[in-house]
Structure 1
């Protein structure tokens, strides 16, 4: 049995570096050469592990979703629709105003439009459950979900433009002032 040459790098470390590069510069602003320069891993090894820039981006995106953007999944577990919305917009403000400003998912990389649409539909399903429970009434749950997503994306763009963390949280609070009245009101 032939023994292959041992891997000379940690793919998780490359994913982490690539995540930060894509987060800072966007998909089109990062080349495999940028990743090799930042990691010290040669092109051949990167292509052997990831096969393409698109696959590397996908794995970096999965790392982002499990790490800095995990607030999205956590938000959906909140007990009320308003608490979901609050966790989304304030989670976005915290994430996009950290070490790297902006959001990895606000861009034009392959699959991001579908990812954003899926997130909107998960939010809409959660808001539909709030309608079914009597918490919300008279709302278009898909439109409400798109509004929260648009606020989160706008917060990311404002962060990239230099808005402070405090300003981003103030934007989140101002947006939430437009939240629909409770069904019992």
Structure 2
């Protein structure tokens, strides 16, 4: 049986390049020519390796989550709700203004530029953001149960609040906001963060 011709490009490197194209131009704005030229491959090679543009974008999203967006996973593992939010906000401020990457957040920018023709991608991005907000809600609910947050705190509202701030920071970064600008916003949020339950008197 004849062996298939081996790939003549590095999959991980090509995916990193595709990630940056999608990040800069959004899903719809990234043409197949943009992608193949940046990845250094032909269209047949792209289809053979990734299937199609939509599959490539989903793989790029996964790579973003495990790469530039990895601060989210680190934040959720912090031992206190305050630590979670602090890591999220300052991590986001650094990530969305990293000079090594395009400004903003891939998942936020991708959704903003999706039209009717890319409804499945828009829904995918919305589902991922909703899942992230739900992870926060569950983490804050745990903090309430453990006494780390006041029992009257609303876990859902806090999760929505933090999510909105994070999305706003990403949009502002695309508009030219600097790392210092966004870190100041993070500081304001932390200055108003609800206190933990006071320890019970013995």
- Bin for the TM-score computed over the shorter chain: over 0.9
Equivalent positions of 1:1-185 (< 5 A) are: 1-99=1-99, 100-106=102-108, 107-108=110-111, 110=121, 111-136=124-149, 137-184=151-198
Contact 1:31 1:53 in 2 (8 A): no
In the alignment, the residues of structure 1 paired with residue 44 and residue 26 of structure 2 have an alpha-carbon distance, to the nearest angstrom, of 23
Q: Tell me the number of residue pairs that the alignment of Structure 1 and Structure 2 aligns.
A: 185
Contact 2:18 2:60 in 1 (8 A): yes
> Unaligned regions of 5+ residues in structure 1, if any?
none
Greater helix percent: which structure? 2
Give RMSD over aligned pairs: 1.2
Contact 1:103 1:156 in 2 (8 A): yes
1:181 Cα deviation from its structure 2 partner: 2.3
Give TM-score, length-normalised by structure 1.
Answer: 0.96
Greater than 4 Å deviation, 4+ residue runs: none
1:175 Cα deviation from its structure 2 partner: 1.9
1:2 Cα deviation from its structure 2 partner: 1.5
In the alignment, the residues of structure 2 paired with residue 28 and residue 98 of structure 1 have an alpha-carbon distance, to the nearest angstrom, of 23
Give TM-score, length-normalised by structure 2.
Answer: 0.88
1:178 Cα deviation from its structure 2 partner: 2.4
> Unaligned regions of 5+ residues in structure 2, if any?
115-120
Contact 2:15 2:39 in 1 (8 A): no
In the alignment, the residues of structure 2 paired with residue 35 and residue 103 of structure 1 have an alpha-carbon distance, to the nearest angstrom, of 19
